[in-house]
Amino acid sequence: MADGAEEGMIMQAATGLRLLLGLAFLLLARPAFAEDGYDLWLRYQPVEAPAQARYRASAATILAQGTSPTVAAAAGELQRGLAGLLGRQVPFGRQVADGAILLGTPASSPLIRGLNLPLQGLGREGFLIRSVALGGCRVTLIAGNEDVGVLYGVFRLLRLIQTQQPIVGLDLRDAPHVQLRMLDHWDNLDRHVVRGYAGLSLWDWQTLPRFRDPRYTDYARADASIGINGIVLNNVNSNADVLTPHFLERVKALADIFRPWGIRVYLSARFNAPMALGALPTADPLDPRVQTWWRAKADEIYRYVPDFGGFLVKANSEGTPGPQDFHRTHADGANMMAEALAQHGGVVIWRAFVYSAANNEDRFRQAYSEFHPLEGQFRDNVIVQVKNGPIDFQPREPFSPLFGAMPRTNIGMEFQVTKEYLGFNTHLAYLGTMWEEALRADTYARGQGSTVARVVDGSLFHGPRSLLAGVANTGNDRNWSGSQFDQANWYALGRFAWDPNVSARAVAEDWARMTWGNDPAIVQPIVGMMMGSRQAVVDYMTPLGLHHLMATGHHYGPGPWIDNLERRDWNPAYFHGGNREGIGFDRTASGSNAIEQYAPEVARRFGNLATVGDDYLLFFHHVPWTYRLDTGRTVWDELVVRYSRGVDEVRAMRRTWAGLAGRIDPQRYAEVAGFLAIQEDEAQWWRDACIAYFQSLSRLPLPAGYAPPAHDLAWYQAIDNRYAPGRDQP
């Protein structure tokens, strides 16, 4: 037991926590619902009886030390989770006892301070979970340098129990590899979500700030459980109105809700806001009036939200205003805004997704062409956010050549969690395998082993800031993401942001156990479906390195024949380059020479037909239809085989899911079964439409044993999906 002085301090801290913990528990408690996906991976279903007894012995009481809202959130979440997992309420204790779980930091807990724990190197967000003996009692310790680390440690302990891992003899140290782990919401102020397939925006600006939907807290809980610490509330194409007091008081309300969960809010800022809101005649970043306006606006925002994170900016891309409108550079614009935020500790995240009508080069080249000459010119509180590939979130792309090319610039990763090009919410496509592929790619920037992950986490060039962001897939649907399996991509984004070297399979296994149950007869088939799902989508949409074949605007369904749009790089026909002689986009020295933007080792691999590999063949080379692959088949035959294989893979997923009938709760089972049926229909549509079109170019017969499309090409070309969800305009 603790001595008298320590016990008195513990009781004093516990007294200070009671009101906060009581309020937290009331906020976290809500009526029970049928299994509809609302609880995400935080279901906290009871573990099996034999394991439950073991866990109960190690979780008899909760001893939380500290009085902050974050400690209250951590302790409340731990009590909530243990109540569900262990089937009984675990009380808050006042003193050390056998089976206590002790939460705190050296600053808040004399017990933790006295242990001289090895917390160095864990930063403010890292944590230590350790089984220790205190006063002869067996205790599980969750400690951090700051309260947010304790919060993350609580979620890790709960994950261990959820996945039925042992929690005795623990000695676990962990800290995030990436500083800023963010979700970017493409939510408009009218609640329409661009590229959103899960209903309206979560943010009800009309009822904020007076009504604070409890769902905002549940959203924050889910994000905190996977280590997300930044939220961009509005669309990168948003107008400037979000920067007005009317919206800032609502932004403040959300920031207040998110803060105890370790989450800071950010805003997408329109570059010409000084003209739109301030009536200035210019937004020139070198104009003193513009600089003064942004400084004043930053000061105003921080009066509402003292821990405001900063701005996300899309500039001079797809018609958005930017510094180039005033003959200035991206660095000029980013640095001006960063200067306004610097005294408050804020950052500017400047998107490198740029292409404009004035630039006629291969879109692959444009981001590098505009940003690489600016290497070393960006302030330390600017992060250049680069999409994983050089085109636009395609089912498969090589990594962007900007990764590894700017060692003196903070370079962050931008993934897309919402599946704009991968079947929206109805197609099962686990993106962890895509992100693992991108992050493990070798840039050769400093020799072999210079992976994209090492660029993103800052370990390769030792930059002052690191970022991994994902375009969110959440909305106000009850299941949050529009489908049960799309929740896995939200979950995986957080796990990869915490550690870019994590295994996609390990993440899938954890998610499956937490979401569907620990029975191996459930986990193994579900993980198997997930691990093969993204390749299935690649096969029936864009095999062999084809890309951007989606129909115009909404990107729903195939449109490889489209060749009449205003910009050439809006046309799928431009990207696949198909004609009577062959197919593919030549990015070698004989074409756009985009490969020159990579390190020589990478350029040689992609530029050589013998080493490029089937996955990227048509991304970098235009080849005859009769070009023969390592499989022994011609390009034409291989395309037909892969399109057909994609459909077969979806059929196999349907059979696997059917085998889980009776093991999955009825509501979620039925939803997934229905969506897989849609996916099979649409995979067949993709297969038949693309084969019909490409056969009209190649004029070659189908390989033996493969069925022709169900309809002629004109039938597929006549399909009109103008009302598909998630378009740029509501």
Are 550 and 558 in contact by the 8 Å Cβ rule? The answer is: yes
Q: Which two tokens stand for residue 407?
A: 């060692």
Residue of 125, 284, 420, 442 marked catalytic:
420
Are 522 and 516 in contact by the 8 Å Cβ rule? The answer is: yes
**Which residue is associated with the tokens 């998610």?**
511
Q: Give the C-alpha separation, 638 to 624, whole Å.
A: 13
Are 449 and 226 in contact by the 8 Å Cβ rule? The answer is: no
Q: Which two tokens stand for residue 433?
A: 């395998």
Q: Give the C-alpha separation, 522 to 535, whole Å.
A: 22
Of 469, 466, 349, 455, residue with least CA distance to 415: 469
Are 607 and 620 in contact by the 8 Å Cβ rule? The answer is: yes
CB atoms within 10 A of CB 555: 23
Q: Which two tokens stand for residue 173?
A: 């140290």
CB atoms within 10 A of CB 611: 9
Q: Give the C-alpha separation, 692 to 679, whole Å.
A: 20
Task: Examine the residue annotation and report whether 318 is marked as an active-site residue of this protein.
Answer: yes
DSSP-H helix ranges across 30-188: 49-58, 69-86, 110-114, 147-162
First to last CA, the chain: 63
* Helix (H), strand (E) at residue 529: helix 520-541
Residue of 35, 318, 596, 671 marked catalytic:
318
- For 523, phi then psi, to 5°, come to -65, -50
Cα 661 off chain centre by: 30
User: What is the three-class DSSP state of 230?
Assistant: strand
**Which residue is associated with the tokens 């590098």?**
368
Q: Give the C-alpha separation, 199 to 418, whole Å.
A: 12
Residue of 6, 392, 437, 442 marked catalytic:
392
Q: Give buried/exposed letters for 639-678 (b at 16+ CB in 10 A, else e).
A: bbbbbbbbbebbbebbebbeebeeebeeebbebbeebbee
Task: Examine the residue annotation and report whether 486 is marked as an active-site residue of this protein.
Answer: no
Are 638 and 530 in contact by the 8 Å Cβ rule? The answer is: no
> Measuring CA to CA, how many Å separate 304 from each of 188, 283, 631, 640, 717?
21, 24, 62, 58, 52
Q: Radius of gyration over alpha carbons of the chain, in Å? A: 26
**Which residue is associated with the tokens 């990015």?**
587
Q: Give the C-alpha separation, 602 to 3, whole Å.
A: 64
Q: Which two tokens stand for residue 326?
A: 């005033």
Of 395, 409, 392, 286, residue with least CA distance to 337: 286
Task: Examine the residue annotation and report whether 420 is marked as an active-site residue of this protein.
Answer: yes
Residues with Cβ < 8 Å from 303, sequence gap 6 or more? none
| Long-range CB pairs of 420-423, under 8 A, 24+ apart, other chains included | 420/195, 420/393, 420/555, 420/726, 421/392, 421/393, 421/394, 421/395, 421/541, 421/550, 421/555, 422/395, 422/534, 422/537, 422/541, 423/537, 423/541, 423/679, 423/682
Q: Which two tokens stand for residue 480?
A: 């949050």
Q: What angle do CA 505, 619, 501 make, to 5 degrees?
A: 25
> Measuring CA to CA, how many Å separate 564 from each of 341, 573, 592, 686, 727?
44, 9, 22, 21, 20
Q: Give the C-alpha separation, 706 to 343, whole Å.
A: 65
> Measuring CA to CA, how many Å separate 298 from each of 53, 222, 234, 286, 341?
54, 29, 17, 17, 6
> Measuring CA to CA, how many Å separate 488 from each of 216, 226, 431, 433?
20, 11, 8, 12
Q: Annotated catalytic sites, by residue?
A: 318, 392, 420
